[in-house]
Structure 1
Amino acid sequence: MLDNAIKYAKLKRKLLPYFKMCELEAATTGVPILRAMVLENEDDSIAQLIYDQFYLGSNLLVAPVLTPQTTKREVYLPAGEWFLFGQKEKKYLGKQSYLLVCPVDEMLIFVKGNNIIPTIKEDNYHFEQLDTVSLELNLYGTLPAQYDLKFKLNEKLIIITYQNKKFDVSSNHNYLVK
């Protein structure tokens, strides 16, 4: 149980830039960070009925295993392309359900296609040293011609813009983006 808690604490730390991106969106739009399926899929009658999956921001869909001794989990994916977090090579098509192997100590996290999930490189992160963090931009699918990421670390705004197949980072921090 402790190992599992440590694993998910590390995942939360790794996803800190994404959480910060969601916080900025929530502060400016009023849309909550944790969202029911229906909030992101108003016109999807199946998504309206699902109570055991949720969005984390608009780009991550979380489907936790809630039953002890379970090794499989049915997941409904709304319209679009989806990828398991950390597995960019296998694409899942939306508007259908999948029965996936998933032990009770795991969590299925899907990334909405054609997005970037910013993460902190695990071996380069200390709470005391947020000014010198290595960021990784994890691309899932194909980006549109222009794409912007905005988030705050230490109350300083970081803007990452993708345009003409190039990334541009604006910040007064010493971030290294890969």
Structure 2
Amino acid sequence: MRVEFLLSGFFGVIGLLGVAFPRHFTDFIVAGSHVISAHRGADVNASARWQSMRVTCALIVAFSIWIVVGGAQREPRDVVPAAWEVVGPAVVSGVLTIVGLSVLLFRRRLIALAAQRLRINGGEIYVGSLAERHARAVVLVFAAWVLLLAGLSLAFAIVRFSGG
């Protein structure tokens, strides 16, 4: 098992979310861009089309599947893993878990900060409770993605430890 399993698993989940919920996913990307910067959010907002998001995410899922299949075919069999191949991903998983849980622990403050940034950078798009709702989505989805990466990294370590 290699790093491509982690990356393709992460991007596969992102792609599936984009295919299943293209409008929400597009809103999330636009809101996240507005949290980062006013100029960047305006560029993303001008080009955001949820119909194309579904097609793009379907291509991401197909590419992730292709990476997993290609990696599985090249994987050597019955090789004893080095210690760093087990300990490294386990440590990374622990650090990512701490980051994800910290985001969840301080989510109220982070949501307030993200909502403030949305109001400032989003102009007339994000006002009132709309900014709060989108900020909550940005913070919680970020925490979920970090915890997803932690789980994939831990799965990588477990599979390597078991000799796979």
| TM bin (shorter chain) | under 0.3
Structure having the larger proportion of residues in strand: 1
Structure having the larger proportion of residues in helix: 2
The TM-score with structure 2 as length reference comes to 0.26
The TM-score with structure 1 as length reference comes to 0.24
Structure with max Cα Rg? 2
For CA contacts below 8 A with separation 6 or more, give which structure has more relative contact order.
2
